[in-house]
Structure 1
Amino acid sequence: MPTTEEDIAWFRSTFHPIPKPALPDDCIEYSLYIISPSLDPSHDSELRLRLREVQKYATDLHRHYLKDYIWQRQGFSLELNKEDGLSFLRGQTEYGDSVEDEWAIVWLLRELTNKFNDLWVKVTDSDGEFLLIEASGTLPSWLEPDVAENRVWIHDGQLKIIKPANASRSSKRTEEKLSLSQAREIIVNEPKRLMHSISMEEEAFFRLRNYPAQISENMHHALIAIPRKLAYLLHHKPAYIAPAVEAFYLRDPIALKPLQNKENKDKLVFAPEDFVTVSVKFPRVAYAQIKSQEFPAPAVFVDAMPSGTDPKAYVRAETGMKVTCGFEMLVSDPQHQDRPAVREMKMLLDDLDSGDEVLPSETEIATWDQREDDEKWLDIGFDDLENELGGRQGQTGGKGKKTGFGDKAAQENLQRIVKQFEEFLNDDKAGPDGAGLFDEDSDNDFDDDGLDEDDEDEDDEGEDKEASFGEDEFSKMMQEMMGMPPEVMKEIMTGKLGPGAQDPANRSALRPPEVRDLDTMDDDEEAEGDADMQTFMKQMEAELRGHGALDLGSSSSAGKQKAIKDYTPEAEKQNADEDEPYELSSDDDIDNEIDVNLARNLLESLKAQAGKAGPGGNLMGMMGLRMPKDELDEDDDDDQAGPSGMRGMTGGMSRIEELK
């Protein structure tokens, strides 16, 4: 019975596709598609033939530029795949700690798009669209991480981004994700939606500025002393150094156990004997990992290490000892036995044991390359870093020697980071979400090549309309937050705070100078800001004392409470020249418990301060009250007493409870 549309609909509603697994850490994935209006995707044979040409040219590029390149974990590779009926090339490389491996792959992919004008490349890593991360300072506001999937492409050596359907400035954060089929349709049928920004592209591809010359600079050659058997392996295939260094760098006590017993010396694959000095090529990251490790010689190597009379010979022997230990752990530890490099090395070692191969002689080793690179790129001093951060790169030292921060690439990268950080700090329009505040958009929504021609009128920008409120809303909000009665809040908003407050001049004098003269303050007045603030504080203190708010320390607690209970509007009329009485509450009587709670809160605040400065101590000092004394005897344990008198706090709390 043939399958019906109902069967297909039921299948789709019942079975969901298996989600694509997330990329592992430190891994880059790249997909290459042939997209052209002249090529029918249904003609799979023609499409696969075109992809084979791309694959062959990628092999030629790799052989020409990356033949001697040592990858940290995995190398560049392309395999023919098919998904949703569409053939394409896909590769995945785990680059480990060597980020330069990732960028070498991006450079290779970019070169492929320069060769084939119908090739479109999509590249991501465990962080997502890492090209956009590099160009984060130049991105349009609508290009958020959750909508960037299938929008970022490399074509013709350029960075192309699929724009929203409405490319106006007002369309932001409303775009949905694009599927791969939708992206293909847009590339073929709507080329005007392809944005090419020069500034964005320069930032995204900044690390590729020195390629392909940078490829050779990612390697480091060093002379080290290692056993002859190990020298034979490394001469046969220098790339074995990468997994060996990683095994050393990620070692554990189980892997180190065979090296910690002198009796195991004869059982080692690479016994510490018959040393030769050879030049070994490292990835820079691997060499830095070897040099940075503090690793005392294990028991089997103690007798093989030279004396420190010749520093250069000792350094070569120490580095060789670390490399030899890494190889020993690599071939001996069971967790590495399934690695292709380990299987290859064991086959070569079996050939040596069987006599099919022989170890190199001294004469043969003398013909090998003896290259040794400068290690200045490892020298990163604090003073050099300070100079770079301060924009004083390349200054001359005290002895006429020009100083610098690492190599040239490191200096350029640091200068770029500092420059971008300074631009962000100096951006007056930057908000909590970065450049572009609320409804404000960046100019990067528009194409540098003129592809974005929409120039619609903008609404009022830069204003947070949801956070705007008038005087009534502010009064209501303050009343809710502070618990003030409506009558008191009204008097505060109308300026009737105390005697003389109706006078506009007096109200103006009570405002801080920074608020009063914000628009007209010049440099001289700013210099007097501190003095004006002291004057303002004194005026505020006098105003509070006029109402008796700061006179709590002049009488006993009972007297203070009585004074508050006896407070009436008629008494206020005798002390103020106002038309309306000043009311503390809408009620005629104030419960005594309010003051008790206030005192309890103040003492709790003082207790939390532990004798240090804080709001509770400042408030009580202004009211003329001293902090409670410590009731502990001098013979008591110091751990039970605090600088603020914790027992005094407890006693104060008990006395407050008695007032209730």
Structure 2
Amino acid sequence: MERSEGDFKAFGGGFNRFPKIIPEDCVAYTIYIIDAKLSDFQVQEQLRQVQKAGIKLTNELLKDFIWQRERIHFDLVREKGRRCLRGRTNFGDSVEDEWLIVYILRELSKTFAQIWVTIVDSDGQFLLIEAANALPIWLNPEIADFRVWINSGKLLIIPINRPENGTAQKESRAGVLTLDDALTFLQENQVGLLHLPAVESEAFYRLQKYPKQISDSLHHARIFIPRKLAFILHHDPSYISAAVEAFYLRDPIAMRPLQTCDPKGLNFASTDCVNVSIKFTKTGYAQLKSQSFEPAPVWKEFQATNRDPELHELINMGMKVACGFEMLISDSQSQDKKVVREIKLLLEDLEIGEDRLPSDAEISRWQMIVDDESWLDIDFHAFEKELAGKADVEKKDDKGGFGDRDAQEHLRKMVTRFQSFLNDDAAGTEGAEYVDDMDNDDDESSTSSEDTEANDEKEINFNEDHFTQMMREMLGMASTSANAGDNKHIVNVSSAGSGGISRVRTEGDDEEEVLQNMHEMEKELREAGALELGSKQPFETLGLQQDDVKEEFDARAPEEPDVDDEDVEIDFNLAKNLLESFKAQGGMAGPTGNLMGLMGLRLPRDEDRGGSKATALERPSGG
């Protein structure tokens, strides 16, 4: 596909290197056969064999599996004179479906050594994103397109440097490959490919749980649904995914068919319900379970006549499923979908008598499976410990933690990566420094300009404890460190252009000097009125009183060392900005909440407290 200048303008200035051609929540995959000795007909025949093997493998692995939206498929196509197998799958909210496709393609590549597989999604080379912690410094997103391939079960990367054996890798000066360039390299110089075990291990990390994960991603639940719907789901359990999505994405127009009070106006009325076990995807079941839904008029009477607390949730879930199917087959935009056409054909067969509804005796013989729902439970205290990297892994049993074991493992890995990134002294402003030889310009003036900018950069050493202490002082609070004067590392800014010498102060006297300079600077700003200290207006706009906030600070620190009240000043302008920034987070995670958390403070959410005065600042017990 040709890339035009207008494909991608997200950065506002004609940048078109990454045109977004894959829809959201979709994964695209292509299989090539690279062999110059094969004719076009031979390539086509081998691709047909791969296609048949892929269908067979999928049927064996996914016999009872339910896809969230679309299933994997392999279409034999011809583009630019080259034959290949191509597919694109919309996995919706189920990321596990995407990784299942990666697993199937990798297993297929182990069977056919002559095939080369490339797979991307709307984020681009998501395998490299998964392995970001282990990537070489030169492999950045700007040059990653068409460099990542799966062959014989391995993850192989086309290097950026040109081989020395004469088979030049065709690429632009910026190191960007086209598909033709990549296929030419694979055909002429396969020995030059990079196989990096660390990158492969990170990229394929989620595949370790397969094929067991295929069955673990499903959930069986017992619910009450209309007999007609039980017949349809018994015919094909995969219909449930489309109905759950229709319910989950409902709008007022889609809900119009449910407003009738006449049961005859519905395809799935509550007049004849049965107790059956239904198979869901875990994602779909969680979506259905989490929705608050006002019962449709025809279902209110059925719920009123069944007040058994144990059956209430089963009836409620069955109502959601039935309403989802009702909205699905009534939606004018869904009439061309395969699932809708098949459901309507089954309903027509029932109406004309070609098929009949199952009896109670037949339904009793159906398999009744009910899975544990503990994977839905979240212990938020354990979740916060996981985020802080303080979870006790050795003492945690299978039922502990904030969710299922896979979720705990994923979060633990994410936290570990984030902590290693924060502790990486070599990390630059973009996360990791790299040298891109392809960006060198032959123009001497450009080179000179870049060198000048590099020499003007400053080295900054950041100390978290010292920063926290300064923030507390600016808020008018006492220092939490009893040995604040003994800190050996302070913020150090040294000019790299002044002889390239960087000094690190290590004495307590140096720290006092820096603090004194900061206080003098603050004093000058106050005299100039820049900080607007003492203003009550900022707090009044937030619904707080200045005296209340000061009393809160004084009352919340009984364990702190005695501090002279005359020396305690609150920078109300700074506190106002912090509170407004926290309020703008809307109760979600954000920079202000994280910053105050590091300082041992917990700001309350902006919510109704029954008319009581909201606390300005809260400190956790023991903080």
TM-score (norm 2): 0.68
The match for 2:476 is none
SS at match of 2:155: strand
**Pairs within 5 Å for 1:226-241:** 226-241=225-240
2: distance between equivalents of 1:247 and 1:536? 63
Q: Which ranges in structure 2 are unaligned for 5 or more consecutive residues? A: 8-15, 165-170, 438-449, 458-489, 495-501, 540-623
2: distance between equivalents of 1:534 and 1:342? 71
Match of 2:129 among 125, 129, 133: 133
2: distance between equivalents of 1:191 and 1:233? 51
Q: Does 1:521 align with 2:506?
A: yes
Aligned residue type for 1:316: L
1: distance between equivalents of 2:518 and 2:382? 47
Deviation of the 1:224 alpha carbon: 0.5
Q: Does 1:45 align with 2:41?
A: yes
1: distance between equivalents of 2:234 and 2:491? 78
- CA 1:394–1:313 in structure 2 vs 1: closer, same or farther (change >3 Å)? farther
Query: Is contact 2:160–2:175 with CA below 8 Å preserved after alignment?
Result: no
**Pairs within 5 Å for 1:141-540:** 141-166=137-162, 175-262=174-261, 264-305=262-303, 310-389=308-387, 390-393=389-392, 402-436=399-433, 466-468=453-455, 519=504, 521=506, 525=508, 529=511
- CA 1:320–1:402 in structure 2 vs 1: closer, same or farther (change >3 Å)? closer
The match for 2:53 is 57
2: distance between equivalents of 1:608 and 1:54? 75
- CA 1:164–1:467 in structure 2 vs 1: closer, same or farther (change >3 Å)? closer
Deviation of the 1:92 alpha carbon: 1.1
Deviation of the 1:327 alpha carbon: 0.6
Query: Is contact 1:139–1:200 with CA below 8 Å preserved after alignment?
Result: yes
2: distance between equivalents of 1:96 and 1:163? 33
The match for 1:627 is none
Q: Does 1:23 align with 2:22?
A: yes
Deviation of the 1:123 alpha carbon: 0.8
Deviation of the 1:59 alpha carbon: 1.1
Deviation of the 1:258 alpha carbon: 2.2
Query: Is contact 1:29–1:124 with CA below 8 Å preserved after alignment?
Result: yes
SS at match of 1:22: coil
User: Identity, % of aligned pairs?
Assistant: 44
1: distance between equivalents of 2:215 and 2:518? 68
Superposed CA deviations along residues 419-463 of structure 1, whole A, max 9, x for unmatched, are: 1001101101111011226789xxxxxxxxxxxxxxxxxxxxxx9
**Pairs within 5 Å for 1:85-96:** 85-96=81-92
Superposed CA deviations along residues 81-127 of structure 1, whole A, max 9, x for unmatched, are: 11121111111111111111111111110011000111100111111
Q: Does 1:110 align with 2:106?
A: yes
Aligned residue type for 1:414: L
Query: Is contact 1:113–1:120 with CA below 8 Å preserved after alignment?
Result: yes
Query: Is contact 1:164–1:193 with CA below 8 Å preserved after alignment?
Result: no
Query: Is contact 2:260–2:297 with CA below 8 Å preserved after alignment?
Result: yes
Aligned residue type for 1:521: T
- CA 1:536–1:150 in structure 2 vs 1: closer, same or farther (change >3 Å)? closer
2: distance between equivalents of 1:73 and 1:429? 43
Superposed CA deviations along residues 204-248 of structure 1, whole A, max 9, x for unmatched, are: 111111111111111110000001000000000001000000000
Aligned residue type for 1:151: R
Query: Is contact 1:160–1:195 with CA below 8 Å preserved after alignment?
Result: yes
- CA 1:529–1:245 in structure 2 vs 1: closer, same or farther (change >3 Å)? same
- CA 1:189–1:395 in structure 2 vs 1: closer, same or farther (change >3 Å)? closer
- CA 1:336–1:24 in structure 2 vs 1: closer, same or farther (change >3 Å)? same
Deviation of the 1:271 alpha carbon: 0.8
Superposed CA deviations along residues 264-294 of structure 1, whole A, max 9, x for unmatched, are: 3221000112111111000111101000101
Aligned residue type for 2:250: R
Q: Which ranges in structure 1 are unaligned for 5 or more consecutive residues? A: 1-11, 441-462, 471-511, 542-548, 551-597, 614-660
- CA 1:469–1:210 in structure 2 vs 1: closer, same or farther (change >3 Å)? closer
1: distance between equivalents of 2:108 and 2:427? 38
2: distance between equivalents of 1:278 and 1:211? 29
**Pairs within 5 Å for 1:569-588:** none
Query: Is contact 1:28–1:126 with CA below 8 Å preserved after alignment?
Result: yes
Query: Is contact 2:247–2:327 with CA below 8 Å preserved after alignment?
Result: yes
Query: Is contact 2:242–2:328 with CA below 8 Å preserved after alignment?
Result: yes
Considering only CA atoms, is the larger Rg found in Structure 1 or Structure 2?
1
Query: Is contact 2:138–2:436 with CA below 8 Å preserved after alignment?
Result: no
1: distance between equivalents of 2:151 and 2:390? 36
Deviation of the 1:176 alpha carbon: 3.0
1: distance between equivalents of 2:293 and 2:62? 32
- CA 1:377–1:207 in structure 2 vs 1: closer, same or farther (change >3 Å)? same
Superposed CA deviations along residues 317-355 of structure 1, whole A, max 9, x for unmatched, are: 110010010011111222221111011001011111111
- CA 1:274–1:142 in structure 2 vs 1: closer, same or farther (change >3 Å)? same
The match for 1:580 is none
Superposed CA deviations along residues 575-634 of structure 1, whole A, max 9, x for unmatched, are: xxxxxxxxxxxxxxxxxxxxxxx99x9468749967679xxxxxxxxxxxxxxxxxxxxx
Aligned residue type for 1:228: R
2: distance between equivalents of 1:465 and 1:391? 45
- CA 1:307–1:204 in structure 2 vs 1: closer, same or farther (change >3 Å)? farther
- CA 1:316–1:393 in structure 2 vs 1: closer, same or farther (change >3 Å)? farther
Higher relative helix content? 1
Query: Is contact 2:43–2:83 with CA below 8 Å preserved after alignment?
Result: yes
Query: Is contact 1:394–1:404 with CA below 8 Å preserved after alignment?
Result: no
330-339 or 233-242, which deviates more? 330-339
- CA 1:536–1:239 in structure 2 vs 1: closer, same or farther (change >3 Å)? closer
2: distance between equivalents of 1:469 and 1:214? 53
- CA 1:515–1:383 in structure 2 vs 1: closer, same or farther (change >3 Å)? closer
Aligned residue type for 1:246: E
Q: Does 1:98 align with 2:94?
A: yes
- CA 1:48–1:302 in structure 2 vs 1: closer, same or farther (change >3 Å)? same
2: distance between equivalents of 1:290 and 1:107? 28
Superposed CA deviations along residues 404-429 of structure 1, whole A, max 9, x for unmatched, are: 22111111111110110011011011
2: distance between equivalents of 1:521 and 1:77? 63
Q: Which runs of 4 or more aligned residues in structure 1 lie more than 6 Å from their structure 2 counterparts after TM superposition?
A: 437-440, 512-518, 534-538, 607-613
- CA 1:189–1:346 in structure 2 vs 1: closer, same or farther (change >3 Å)? same
Deviation of the 1:519 alpha carbon: 4.8
How many residues in Structure 1 have an aligned counterpart in Structure 2?
A: 468
2: distance between equivalents of 1:330 and 1:382? 36
Superposed CA deviations along residues 450-494 of structure 1, whole A, max 9, x for unmatched, are: xxxxxxxxxxxxx98634369xxxxxxxxxxxxxxxxxxxxxxxx
Aligned residue type for 1:203: E
SS at match of 2:145: coil
